[in-house]
Amino acid sequence: MKLRFVGTGDSAQVPRFGCSCAACERARVLSSHRRGPCCAEVRVDGQRYLLDAGRSDLAASCERERPAAILLTHYHADHVQGLFHLRWGMGEPIPVYGPKDAHGCADLYRHPGVLAFQPGLKPFRALRLEGVEAIPVPLSHSKPTLGYCLDDGGTRLAYLTDTCGLPAETERFLRGWRPDAVVLDATHPAGYAEPRNHNTVPMALEIIERLAPRQAWLTHLSHAVDAELMSVHLSLPPGVALAQDGLECELAWPRPGSVAENMPWRVAMATRDG
């Protein structure tokens, strides 16, 4: 399974409009530090699946390669705004899966165009797609939100954003499911008072410690997290990293018992384009 982080920012993105903090100023100069709307894509068996659809160039990217399906975590604008352009496209319908949400976002349901919205997914009920199984798990957010537990038969990836903590039943499920890799919301820096809809970095690290994956990435990051990391030396635990826009990872771990079992996981940095 190949995972690509397309966008790793919160809804304000980095740089944040009008902000002159160190992280925003750096991102204006160095494009590698920019963070776009939070979304990712997964490749399995030649199929391309999109996790969320907030990127502004979504239609162009789908024109280069049509996705087999789009999996939405929820209907906040930063996760679906790319659909408003894409829907007026042509050709075969693109299946769109997501949580049961009567309102969706603006008039997407009323004028779906080329988007084939599927009935709202039932939590913990596996969705079988070509080459991969996706188990939706409820998250704790201000709108109905699902994380996705993806299993290609060899590797297990849990993609969990947006969320503040994890609902007890989701954490119970994840502990039993034992993901190899976890991607988790860590929108706010440590000192953020009263987080309600998103994790702080320490909250995310506690969840990761309990789930004990081989590798974890923090995503949906605000400029404040980047600014904090620039001012204090915060070392993340082994196996935990900040996601970056354009980061591409081949998720593959040797099966238990094989000679290469103790080899480190493979992560390849890719170019930002493509």
Residues forming contacts to Zn ion in the complex (CB under 5 A) are 16, 19, 21, 24, 76, 78, 162, 223
Write down the least CB distance from residue 16 to Zn ion, Å.
5
d(C-alpha 205, C-alpha 236), whole Å: 8
Write down the least CB distance from residue 221 to Zn ion, Å.
11
Write down the least CB distance from residue 128 to Zn ion, Å.
27
- The number of beta carbons lying within 10 Å of the beta carbon of residue 25 is 15
d(C-alpha 62, C-alpha 211), whole Å: 34
**DSSP code, position 261:** G
Write down the least CB distance from residue 79 to Zn ion, Å.
6
The two structure tokens encoding residue 89 = 């496209």
Write down the least CB distance from residue 109 to Zn ion, Å.
18
Which residues of the chain form beta strands (DSSP E)? 2-7, 39-44, 47-51, 69-71, 94-97, 115-117, 127-129, 132-138, 146-151, 156-160, 181-185, 215-219, 240-242, 248-250
d(C-alpha 166, C-alpha 169), whole Å: 8
Indicate the residue among 16 and 156 with the shorter CB distance to Zn ion. Answer: 16
- Give the dihedral of Cα atoms 139, 215, 65, 61; nearest 10 deg: 70
Indicate the residue among 162 and 180 with the shorter CB distance to Zn ion. Answer: 162
